[in-house]
A and B are shown apart, each in its own frame.
Chain A
Amino acid sequence: MSVARSFAHVCDALESRTTLNRLEARGTVRLALKEAGLDPSSVTARQMGVVVERILPGQLQSRGVGDPDSICRDLAISLASLPSDEASETPESVFGRLGESSR
């Protein structure tokens, strides 16, 4: 299954900045996304930014990663510079359109 650019970006950054290996980094991010109700294949940079700020620090701390807040802060900043990937058609975007401007 292909993964979203923001997912790959965060996994690569975690792999390089922490002691987590590739499998551990991807598993950690997948768990964080699952907790947020998001899919690795369609998560956008904006959504990933929220996950990185609100959920990932706790996940990293539980895996013994040092200074998770600082790592996640840097990750959130780097995510903001990623090109927009909002164009993908997700169920959320479809159902968002279906009820819009009905008043």
Chain B
Amino acid sequence: MQWISLLGVGIQAIASLVVGLRLASIARRTRRFPELALSLATLLGTVVGYPLGLLAIALERAGMPGVAPVFFIAASVMMTGVSMNYFFTWRVFRRGAPFAVVLCGLGVWLLFAPIGAVAVHVGLYGIDRGIQSSSVWVALAVGAVLGGYAWTAFESFRYYLTSRRQLRLGLIQASVSNRFLLWSLASACFLAIVITAGVVVRLGSNPLQSAGFSLAVGGLGLVNSTCNVLCFLPPQWYLDWLGRPRAAAGA
């Protein structure tokens, strides 16, 4: 079972790297915020933050110093990635809505506020016991991550449903409509990962050292990678398939 999780995480990291760089190149060309936010969200979480978290665990297991600082950097990088998700959803889907500004601000604050406290606990007690002893702070951060991905998945799926009506009138391309669905599914995968992490923490384990969590991350990572690639690097056969009348009707 372990190889599935390693495969899933590996493929997700590679897919995120490719997709993130692709989005960064689009952002460089267009100079628009949504592309930049998405590229950072894609690169910082899976490509940089998660491996840094694993590095912190490896340092602890090897009895080497620097566990807390590396953990702090890993958490900060991952939370920066999730915060980009909040900013993207606000700016793209709810630009003029006052509640979205509040939700985005609150979410980002809750992402970053607990990091220092958790890192101090990790420095004092180690990763496992540190996370357990700072459960309130961890719960706040996990809740904020959960909220971010849930909001993104909801807004994107809502737009997907709306875009199906536009599709019938020829007002939108089938590939663009499908992209809303894929982005919603990709966000839902992260949502499921965070929920699994929350359950693992509630059971008193460190998600990064749990076999069940690794398996979930592996499986969901594969789905997430597929969605990301089809969304931002769609192969020609997929676009051709979407262009067919029956596929477009169900896009």
Contacts and interface: CB of A to CB of B under 8 A. Distances in A.
Contacts of A41: 96
Interface in A3-57: 35-38, 41, 47, 50-51, 54-55
Contact of A37 (B95, B162, B176): B162
Contact of A35 (B34, B163, B165): B165
Given A91-B159, A91-B180, A99 B234 contact: yes
Contact of B93 (A37, A50, A54, A91): A91
Nearest to B162: A37
A13 B96 CA distance: 27
Nearest to A100: B26
Given A91-B93, A95-B179, A99-B175, A38 B166 contact: yes
Interface residues of B, number: 34
B92 A94 contact: yes
B108 interface: no
B165 A36 contact: yes
A70 interface: no
Interface string B114-126: 0000000000000
A48 to B, nearest CB: 10
Contacts of B165: 35-37
A99 B176 contact: yes
Given A41-B96, A91-B159, A97 B233 contact: no
Contact of B95 (A50, A89, A95): A89
Contacts of A38: 166, 171
Given A36-B165, A36-B169, A92-B163, 17 more contacts: A36-B166, A36-B171, A37-B165, A38-B171, A55-B169, A89-B95, A91-B92, A91-B180, A94-B32, A94-B34, A96-B173, A96-B176, A97-B26, A98-B179, A98-B232, A99-B233, A103-B236
